[in-house]
Amino acid sequence: MKLEGGQISTSGLSFLLICYIFGSTIIIIPGREAEHNIWLAYIAGMTEGLIFAFIYTTLAQRFPQKTLIEINDLIYGPILGKLISLSYILYFLQLTALILRDFGDFFRGVLMPETPLVVFILFSALLGASAVRNGIEVIARCSIIIGPLAIVTSILVTLMLLPQMKITNILPIGDIPLKDFIKASHTVASVPFGETIAFLMVFAFMEKEKVKNIRKLTLLTIILGSIFLLINIFQTACTLGKTAQITLYPTFTAIRLINIGDVFTRLEALVIFAFLGLGFLKLTVSYYGATLGMAQILKLRSYLPLVLPLGVIIVVTSILHFENTIENIVWTSDIYPYYSIPFQIGIPLLSLLIAMVRKLPKQKTGSKQQQK
Amino acid sequence: MFSFLAKKLKFLQLLKKNLSQDQEEQNKSPQLTANLKTNLQMIKNILGNSDDIIIRPFVLGTKDQQEAALIMIDGLIDKASVHDFIIKPLMLESRSLNDNDSLADSIEELTETLVCIAEVKKVKTLDELVNDCLKGDTALLVNGHPGALIINTRGWKSRGIEQPQTEVSVRGPREGFTETLRVNTALIRRKIRDPDLTFETMTIGKRSKTDVTIVYLKGVVRPGLVEEIKKRLKKINTDLILESGYIEQFIEDAPFSPFSTIGNTERPDTVAAKIMEGRAAILVDGTPMVLTVPLLFIESFQTMEDYYSRPYYASVVRLLRMLSFFISIMAPATYVALTTFHQELLPTPLALSMASAREGVPFPAFLEAFLLGLAFEILREAGIRLPQAVGTAISIVGALVIGEAAVSAGLVSAPLIIVVAITAISSFAVIPQSDASAFIRFILFLLASTLGIFGISVGLLGILIHLATLKSFGVPYLAPFAPLKPADLKDTLIRFPLWLMITRPSSITKKDPQREKWGLMPRPQDDNNKG
pLDDT digits (tens, 9 = 90+) for B226-246: 999 999 999 999 999 999 999
Does B310 map to a domain? no
Say how many domains are in chain B: 3
8 Å CB contact between A64 and A70 = no
Compare CB distances from B464 to A11, A120, A145 and report the shortest one's residue. Answer: A145
Query: Inter-chain contact B484–A9, Cβ cutoff 8 Å?
Result: yes
Query: Inter-chain contact A277–B478, Cβ cutoff 8 Å?
Result: no
Predicted confidence band of residue B450 (pLDDT cuts 50, 70, 90): very high
Does B10 map to a domain? no
Question: Which of chain B's residues have a Cβ under 8 Å away from the Cβ of A276?
Answer: 454, 457-458, 461
A296 burial via Cβ count (<10 Å: 0-12, 13-18, 19+): buried
Q: Are residues B290 and B326 in the same domain?
A: no
Predicted confidence band of residue A1 (pLDDT cuts 50, 70, 90): very low
Predicted confidence band of residue B63 (pLDDT cuts 50, 70, 90): low
Q: Are residues B141 and B190 in the same domain?
A: no
Rounded distance, CA B378 to CA B398, Å? 10
Chain A residues 78-117 with a CB less than 8 Å from chain B? 107, 111-112, 115
Q: Which domain holds residue B427?
A: 319-475
Write down all domains in chain A, each with its CATH number in brackets: 10-370 (1.10.4160.10)
Residue of A nearest to B455 (CA): A123
Asked if the model's pLDDT at residue A284 lies above 60, the reply is yes
Q: What region, left, alpha or beta, does residue B384 occupy, with left being phi > 0 and alpha being psi -120 to 50 degrees?
A: alpha
Asked if the model's pLDDT at residue A118 lies above 70, the reply is yes
Judged by a CB distance cut-off of 8 A, whether residue A152 touches chain B is: no
Does B313 map to a domain? no
Judged by a CB distance cut-off of 8 A, whether residue B469 touches chain A is: yes
Q: Are residues B278 and B352 in the same domain?
A: no
Predicted confidence band of residue B156 (pLDDT cuts 50, 70, 90): confident
> Hey, how many other C-beta atoms are within 10 angstroms of the C-beta on B158?
11
Does B360 map to a domain? yes
Q: Are residues B210 and B246 in the same domain?
A: yes
Does B20 map to a domain? no
**Mean per-residue pLDDT over chain A, rounded:** 89
Q: Residue B6: what pLDDT?
A: 76
Query: Inter-chain contact B345–A273, Cβ cutoff 8 Å?
Result: no
Most confident stretch, A75-79, A85-89, B63-67: A85-89
Q: Residue A371: what pLDDT?
A: 43
Instruction: Express each pLDDT in B248-283 by its tens digit.
Output: 999 999 999 999 999 999 999 999 999 999 999 999
> Domain boundary residue among B460, B475, B490?
B475
Q: Residue B20: what pLDDT?
A: 64
Judged by a CB distance cut-off of 8 A, whether residue B459 touches chain A is: no
Q: Residue B100: what pLDDT?
A: 55
Does B400 map to a domain? yes
Predicted confidence band of residue A93 (pLDDT cuts 50, 70, 90): very high
DSSP-based three-state secondary structure for B69: strand
Instruction: Express each pLDDT in B176-205 by its tens digit.
Output: 999 999 999 999 999 999 999 999 999 999
> Domain boundary residue among B475, B502, B523?
B475
Distances (CA, A) of B504 to B269, B489, B509, B516: 17, 11, 7, 9
Predicted confidence band of residue A366 (pLDDT cuts 50, 70, 90): very low
Average pLDDT over residues B286-304: 93
What percent of chain A has pLDDT above 90?
A: 60
8 Å CB contact between B154 and B264 = no
Does B314 map to a domain? no
Residue of B nearest to A108 (CA): B454
Q: Are residues B111 and B226 in the same domain?
A: no
Judged by a CB distance cut-off of 8 A, whether residue A279 touches chain B is: no
Q: Are residues B446 and B378 in the same domain?
A: yes
Query: Inter-chain contact B465–A142, Cβ cutoff 8 Å?
Result: yes
Instruction: Express each pLDDT in A249-269 by its tens digit.
Output: 888 989 988 888 877 777 888
Question: How many helices (H) and strands (E) in chain A?
Answer: 17, 2
- This complex has an ipTM of 0.93
CA distance A203 to chain B (A): 17
Asked if the model's pLDDT at residue B445 lies above 90, the reply is yes
> Hey, how many other C-beta atoms are within 10 angstroms of the C-beta on B482?
27
Query: Inter-chain contact B342–A146, Cβ cutoff 8 Å?
Result: no
Backbone angles phi, psi at B69, to 5 degrees: -150, 145
Q: What region, left, alpha or beta, does residue B325 occupy, with left being phi > 0 and alpha being psi -120 to 50 degrees?
A: alpha
A147 contact partners, CB below 8 Å, separation of at least 6: A15, A16, A18, A19
Predicted confidence band of residue B58 (pLDDT cuts 50, 70, 90): confident
Asked if the model's pLDDT at residue B66 lies above 50, the reply is yes
Asked if the model's pLDDT at residue B531 lies above 60, the reply is no
Q: Are residues B242 and B369 in the same domain?
A: no
Q: Are residues B324 and B468 in the same domain?
A: yes
Rounded distance, CA B138 to CA B120, Å? 10
Query: Inter-chain contact A266–B476, Cβ cutoff 8 Å?
Result: no
Judged by a CB distance cut-off of 8 A, whether residue B342 touches chain A is: yes
8 Å CB contact between A56 and A196 = yes
Judged by a CB distance cut-off of 8 A, whether residue A130 touches chain B is: yes
Least confident of A11-15, B14-18, B130-134, B477-481: B14-18
Rounded distance, CA B458 to CA B436, Å? 17
Backbone angles phi, psi at B198, to 5 degrees: -120, 135
Query: Inter-chain contact B454–A145, Cβ cutoff 8 Å?
Result: no
Average pLDDT over residues B348-362: 88
Chain B residues 260-319 with a CB less than 8 Å from chain A? none
* Start-to-end CA span in chain A (Å): 7
Asked if the model's pLDDT at residue B503 lies above 70, the reply is yes
Rounded distance, CA A54 to CA A62, Å? 12
Does B516 map to a domain? no
Question: How many helices (H) and strands (E) in chain B?
Answer: 19, 12
Question: Which of chain A's residues have a Cβ under 8 Å away from the Cβ of B493?
Answer: none
Q: Are residues B326 and B470 in the same domain?
A: yes
Rounded distance, CA B93 to CA B87, Å? 10
Q: Are residues B343 and B209 in the same domain?
A: no
**Mean per-residue pLDDT over chain B, rounded:** 87
Instruction: Give the closest residue to B514 by CA, choosing from B273, B260, B214, B276.
Output: B276
Asked if the model's pLDDT at residue B21 lies above 80, the reply is no
B143 contact partners, CB below 8 Å, separation of at least 6: B34, B35, B36, B37, B66, B67, B68
Asked if the model's pLDDT at residue A47 lies above 60, the reply is yes
Residue of B nearest to A278 (CA): B461
Q: Are residues B128 and B199 in the same domain?
A: no
Question: What DSSP string describes A80-145?
Answer: HHHHHHHHHHHHHHHHHHHHHHHHHHHHHHHT-TTS-HHHHHHHHHHHHHHHHHT-HHHHHHHHHH
Residue B1, Cα to own-chain centre: how many angstroms? 43
Average pLDDT over residues B392-417: 82
Instruction: Express each pLDDT in A264-281 by its tens digit.
Output: 777 888 788 899 999 999
Least confident of A263-272, A321-330, B15-24, B215-224: B15-24
Query: Inter-chain contact B458–A276, Cβ cutoff 8 Å?
Result: yes
Compare CB distances from B458 to A115, A123, A262 and report the shortest one's residue. Answer: A123
A220 vs B17, which has greater pLDDT? A220
Interface probe, candidates B322, B340, B345, chain A, greatest A C-beta count within 10 A? B345
Residue of A nearest to B344 (CA): A266
